[in-house]
């Protein structure tokens, strides 16, 4: 029998085994993307707010993040089972230098792949020059950057500046909880993606 707790409660408590079972159960009644938006993200928002208030500490934040990863592994497996597609184009994804938050980026990656795009995932805390090099070597036309902290939006700006300075002829879209349309324009990104779905729309527009 699966836990009587909701998936959100399970994540907040950091119960990994329960998270796996509950996600399998939820996938029978709603889509992967709905689980991400209605369960995983709200649970992390609650933990994040408690962390900011000081009622939850870093180890608990880490355990909740790990629990989300367990749930997301189940979701990823389910998505993967759906049909293989011909590549609609290739793009780079990276979480910018100084930032280790990669849950959002990883979700965006899986959704883009599910829509048929080939993703070169450079990971988290990525040196901007590494992005420049790979973009040039692979003749990339679109790059997606993620940042979750006010401090690392600066490094996102720097990455975009270096891409332009090195004449990497590609479009850049940015995402992450600290950003908005206005900020994205300020740091000279071409597009702002508020979530994975918008990322797919941008990829369709630029690569097709």
Among 175, 184, 200, 203, binds ligand B1M (CB under 6 A): 175
Neighbours of 15 (CB within 10 A): 19
> In whole angstroms, how close is the CB of 135 to ligand B1M at the nearest point?
14
Asked if 108 touches ligand B1M (CB under 6 A), the answer is: yes
Quick one: 41 or 187, whose CB is closer to ligand B1M? 41
Give Cα 61 distance to the centre of its chain.
17
The b-or-e profile of 168-190 (16+ CB within 10 A means b, else e) is bebbbbbbbbebeeebbeebebb
Q: What binding mask, one character per residue, do residues 148-167 give for ligand B1M by CB under 6 A, x or -?
A: xxxx----------------
**Binding residues among 2-61 for ligand B1M as defined by CB under 6 A:** 41, 44-45, 47-49, 51-52, 58, 61
| Residues whose CB is less than 8 angstroms from the CB of residue 14 and which lie 6 or more positions away in sequence, other chains included | 60, 63, 64, 66, 67
Neighbours of 77 (CB within 10 A): 13
Interface with ligand B1M by CB under 6 A: which residues? 41, 44-45, 47-49, 51-52, 58, 61-62, 65, 93, 98-105, 107-108, 144-146, 148-151, 173, 175-178, 193, 195-196, 199
């Amino acid at each position: 029998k699966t836990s009587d707790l909701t998936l959100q409660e399970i994540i907040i408590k950091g119960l990994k085994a329960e998270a796996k079972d509950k996600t399998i159960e939820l996938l029978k009644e709603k889509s992967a993307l709905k689980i991400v938006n209605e369960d995983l993200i709200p649970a992390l928002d609650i933990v994040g707010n408690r962390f900011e208030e000081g009622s939850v500490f870093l180890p608990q934040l880490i355990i909740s993040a790990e629990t989300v990863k367990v749930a997301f592994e189940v979701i990823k497996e389910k998505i993967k089972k759906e049909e293989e597609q011909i590549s609609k184009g290739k793009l780079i994804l990276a979480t910018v230098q100084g930032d280790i938050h990669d849950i959002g980026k990883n979700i965006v990656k899986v959704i883009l792949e599910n829509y048929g795009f080939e993703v070169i995932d450079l990971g988290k805390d990525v040196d901007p020059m590494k992005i420049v090099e790979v973009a040039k070597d692979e003749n990339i036309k679109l790059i997606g950057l993620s940042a979750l902290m006010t401090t690392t939006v600066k490094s996102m700006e720097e990455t975009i500046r270096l891409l332009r300075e090195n004449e990497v002829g590609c479009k850049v879209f940015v995402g992450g909880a600290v950003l908005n349309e206005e900020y994205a324009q300020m740091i000279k990104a071409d597009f702002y993606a508020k979530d994975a779905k918008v990322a797919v729309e941008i990829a369709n527009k630029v690569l097709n």
